[in-house]
Structure 1
Amino acid sequence: MGAEFATSRYTFRIPLSTGYALFNASTGSVLRMDGGDADELSALLSGARTWISEESLGQQLTATLRRGGFLIDAAFDELAGVRARYWAARGHAPVVLLVTTTMDCNLGCYYCYESRSSDALTVQDVDKLVAIANDRLKRNHKQSLHVDWYGGEPLMNLSFLEQASEALQSLCRTQKVAYHASVISNGTHWPNDVGSFVKQHQIRQVQISFDGLAANHNRRRRYRPGYQSDDGQASFTKAAALVGRLLQHTRVDIRFNADHGNADDLAGFIEFAKEEGWFAAPFRCVLFVAKLSAYSDRSAFLRPHELSPERFDELQALARRTLPAEALDEENVIAGFPQPRTSVCGALASDSAVVGADGLEYRCGLQVGETHRAVGRFGGRQNLLLQPQEFIDRGWWERFDPTELPTCSNCSFLPICWGGCPKRHLDGDSSDVDIEGRYWRTNLPRMIADGLGERTSDGCVLSTADQFRE
């Protein structure tokens, strides 16, 4: 009797024009199967846990399946393996500081969930920010620091940003660690000399949001009273011009915020971007479609405006069809195939922090301003409304582990998903967690087929039985 192995719970079967592709979410391996036994064998390998002997398959095929993770030692705990990778990723993640320079903004977007307060960091806070960065770098001997300038509109507190940037870069030179930065901006309040600003502050990526073509964008992103542009230009004109200038110096990620009112603008906006030369610029321009969603209790009013999953899928498919390949940025896709996750978002990184303009620390940038979600104070700054025992979310973030959750631990997408957005779990938002599963059931077949230069049959989706197995 030969050695006995078990089938992996993370293997999926994708029908192709001839035969099948097997994909293992835990290893990222892809194997094409053709021939008379392909249907039966691929179904066996992608179904409920089954024990198979080397004798029944032959030594060569067994070795191939084992190398790809499609067959595992019968005693191997696959879930424990995913858990070990998850916690290693949390500990090994680089230091990321998301710094909310100000809660002020010159635009008033109807869907904005942020409070437009006067809260802002000051030059007196620079030393505190450097102290946090120094502590996080030394804590686990980290070799890089990434700073994400955030708001409000972060460049509306330019004096703080510039002084903090210089001080943090000086720290990194002293500690001999790498430094780089990014900016999330509305694109209407930048210095005239964009190239010098990017170089001086080592900005390797800028995200600019658009709400459709000019008519929709300008209607949704109006200047707030008292914040009108000095040159009289509308917000769309200023943001689009900035993108063109930035692309001469750094990468730009274009976020197209989609809802019922502007979804039909996407095709025209992509054509506009092509005509502007954004995808042929010296630096890479990525365009991704984001669904306007109720990210928190404060934005629950957005629910009626949200696109259905089906309509959002249509927009994403349109983007894939019409954008140049280099303008697409599907997460964790390498050489055409999705890969098991090896990194976590900043909210889960052990040595990262979100600094609020209100003097509080958070774990997730989407929570800035929600004081009941704070996990500490910035630089020891006092806030009389909160006592240390009231930072009730701190322990939740420290313990969060999707491999321990009832649904995620039984999901075969777990190695490429890790439960999706952790904030959704904290908020108890089961509908959005379900949408994450739907995304993979719908898109994984297409991704695997694309990676092989193939196409799946129209409407090919994985089932919930494929996602959750005995």
Structure 2
Amino acid sequence: MSPYRPSRYNFTVRGERGGVALFNAATGSVVRLDGPHAEALAEALVNPGLIFSGTEFSAELGERLRNGGFLIQNYFNELQAIRERYWRARGETPIVLTITTTMDCNLGCYYCYEERSGHALKSTDVAAIVDLAKRFVTGSGRHSLHVDWYGGEPLLNLEFLEAASLELQEYCEREGVSYVASIISNGTLWPGDVEAFVARNRIRQVQISFDGLQTNHDKRRRYRRDHDNACDSSFAEAVNLVDRLVRCVRVDLRFNIDRANSGDLVPFIRFAKDRGWFNAVFPAVFQPARLASYSEASDFMRKYELSLDEFDALRAIVRNEIGTGARIEESEIPDGFPRPKTSVCAALAANSLVVGADGLTYRCGLQAGETKRAVGTLEDRSHVTAAWNDQSWWEAFDPTSAPSCSKCSFLPICWGGCPKKHLEGDVHAIQEQGRYWRNNLLRLIAHTAGIEAPRETVVADALQFR
């Protein structure tokens, strides 16, 4: 029988009141171990240097451990398997076009990383955008298109959005391509026919951001002087919009948190419950978000942002407050469980691109408007000037080959975190990604295995890097 060794991606959790669970980050498998030798076995299975003949276990247990990826044949290259999965995911992702209708916004948020330029897409750009979609469909052989309307505030350029949406839908209908859209908005500029707008633009997901209850939200999201507004309160406008949206589409309630507004977090959740947003026809999803330095232009946010430990503590409060009455979506674990990744962010996907309001194209939506980060032009995706040198970096980025990530046992569930942070050399953000998993992985495994509370609450460095 071939020799076996423990996977380097095994983790073990021991409950405070008993119970031992194994988790494999490469397969997502969870196995609960019982009996007098459970803890010793679990301890052995997180040591990839051990060799087993396969006869040390009962036939049933040995089969469970092999099938779950906890025991692997000694010659098997786990890192290579993850690398193949990563590159397969980059090529197999659906077509996503992020279209930045304008860089302008009617609100002035202190933490905004976008440059409020006068750039906006025009009706004359619609044909080029449809042509871009055609090239993706033809080149990939895929028959679905997802458009994400983005800004600035995308509805400041409503005429263009509606025109481009119509043309893209008509193209997809002619070619037998399925079409859906999503939109990120501040919720203050929607047309009066909200439900019809959602339907005719085939929008299936809307993200509306809040910065607290009305006092904090309105103070932090003030109307800019050069923009007319029919309502003095951006909070009231957004609330009234969500009241209608939850009857016809999924709404993601993004709650932006920093040191100054964290006290509004629980009261806002209770406010949303009272409005019926979590038990509506389309139940809203709550997304706690830490205000942080998203781009090179917002480094000033470092002094305002919560530490990762502070943010995790607030997310624990959110989970306790919401309970099972609503869905909470954390960016690291969108479906609530640390599954091994099988998809990549749009910035890495072979069939995705961001169209900037300046007519340039980008890999990452957070870079829209940063012309030095552009990778081409709307008219010709392949045209890259000498000054635009990021395209080759995006094409080559591979966390499974990075010095630190390749040695990290979180790799299958993390894939290095945000690639933009790697591009910019943001060591602080990259280290925080690892700290999230060290602080939260054991809790997530314990919950799945039915173990109330783990004895250990933090993954040791020796288990992260093996």
Fold in common (TM above 0.5):
yes
What is the count of residue pairs matched by the alignment?
463
- Which aligned pairs between 1:232-247 and structure 2 lie closer than 5 A? 232-247=231-246
Gaps of 5+ in 2: none
- Which aligned pairs between 1:305-320 and structure 2 lie closer than 5 A? 305-320=304-319
Distance 1:457 1:332, change over 3 A: closer
Aligned AA (1:312)? F
The aligned counterpart of 1:421 is 418
The aligned counterpart of 2:5 is 6
Aligned-pair distance for 1:458?
6.6
Distance 1:337 1:303, change over 3 A: closer
For residue 56 of structure 1, give the secondary structure of its aligned residue in structure 2.
Answer: coil
1:416-448: CA deviation from partner (whole Å, max 9, x where unpaired): 111110001001011111111111111111111
- Which aligned pairs between 1:5-404 and structure 2 lie closer than 5 A? 5-16=4-15, 17-230=17-230, 232-325=231-324, 326-330=326-330, 337-380=337-380, 388-404=385-401
Distance (Å, rounded) in 2 between the aligned partners of 1:177 and 1:282: 28
Q: Give yes or no for contact 2:2–2:73 (8 Å, CA) kept in 1.
A: no
Distance (Å, rounded) in 2 between the aligned partners of 1:330 and 1:219: 26
For residue 121 of structure 1, give the secondary structure of its aligned residue in structure 2.
Answer: coil
Aligned AA (2:9)? Y
For residue 369 of structure 1, give the secondary structure of its aligned residue in structure 2.
Answer: coil
Distance 1:324 1:183, change over 3 A: farther
Q: Give yes or no for contact 2:329–2:335 (8 Å, CA) kept in 1.
A: no
Aligned-pair distance for 1:197?
0.3
Distance (Å, rounded) in 2 between the aligned partners of 1:238 and 1:10: 48
For residue 205 of structure 2, give the secondary structure of its aligned residue in structure 1.
Answer: strand
Distance (Å, rounded) in 1 between the aligned partners of 2:296 and 2:438: 28
Aligned AA (2:251)? V
Q: Give yes or no for contact 2:442–2:456 (8 Å, CA) kept in 1.
A: no
Q: Give yes or no for contact 2:3–2:54 (8 Å, CA) kept in 1.
A: yes
Aligned AA (1:246)? L
Q: Give yes or no for contact 2:19–2:451 (8 Å, CA) kept in 1.
A: no
Distance 1:458 1:22, change over 3 A: closer
Q: Give yes or no for contact 2:93–2:351 (8 Å, CA) kept in 1.
A: yes
The aligned counterpart of 1:447 is 444
Distance (Å, rounded) in 2 between the aligned partners of 1:19 and 1:458: 10
The aligned counterpart of 2:465 is 468
Distance 1:329 1:167, change over 3 A: same
Range with bigger deviation, 289-298 or 445-454:
445-454
Distance (Å, rounded) in 2 between the aligned partners of 1:402 and 1:74: 24
For residue 184 of structure 2, give the secondary structure of its aligned residue in structure 1.
Answer: strand
For residue 52 of structure 2, give the secondary structure of its aligned residue in structure 1.
Answer: strand
Q: Give yes or no for contact 1:338–1:416 (8 Å, CA) kept in 2.
A: yes
Distance 1:156 1:336, change over 3 A: closer
Distance (Å, rounded) in 2 between the aligned partners of 1:429 and 1:445: 26
1:273-319: CA deviation from partner (whole Å, max 9, x where unpaired): 11111001100211111111111121011110010112101111111
Gaps of 5+ in 1: none
Aligned AA (1:422)? P
Q: Give yes or no for contact 1:144–1:177 (8 Å, CA) kept in 2.
A: yes
Aligned AA (1:5)? Y
Distance (Å, rounded) in 1 between the aligned partners of 2:344 and 2:164: 26
Distance 1:28 1:331, change over 3 A: farther
Distance (Å, rounded) in 2 between the aligned partners of 1:393 and 1:175: 33
Q: Give yes or no for contact 1:108–1:222 (8 Å, CA) kept in 2.
A: yes
Q: Give yes or no for contact 2:375–2:384 (8 Å, CA) kept in 1.
A: no
Distance (Å, rounded) in 2 between the aligned partners of 1:335 and 1:121: 35
Distance (Å, rounded) in 2 between the aligned partners of 1:55 and 1:280: 52
Q: Give yes or no for contact 2:213–2:264 (8 Å, CA) kept in 1.
A: yes
The aligned counterpart of 1:410 is 407
Aligned-pair distance for 1:64?
1.5
Distance (Å, rounded) in 1 between the aligned partners of 2:216 and 2:148: 28
Distance (Å, rounded) in 2 between the aligned partners of 1:426 and 1:350: 17
RMSD of aligned alpha carbons: 1.6
Distance (Å, rounded) in 2 between the aligned partners of 1:212 and 1:168: 36
**Structure 2 residue aligned with 1:432, among 411, 429, 432?**
429
Aligned AA (1:171)? Y
Distance 1:128 1:335, change over 3 A: closer
Aligned AA (2:234)? S
Distance (Å, rounded) in 2 between the aligned partners of 1:280 and 1:324: 13
Q: Give yes or no for contact 1:360–1:376 (8 Å, CA) kept in 2.
A: yes
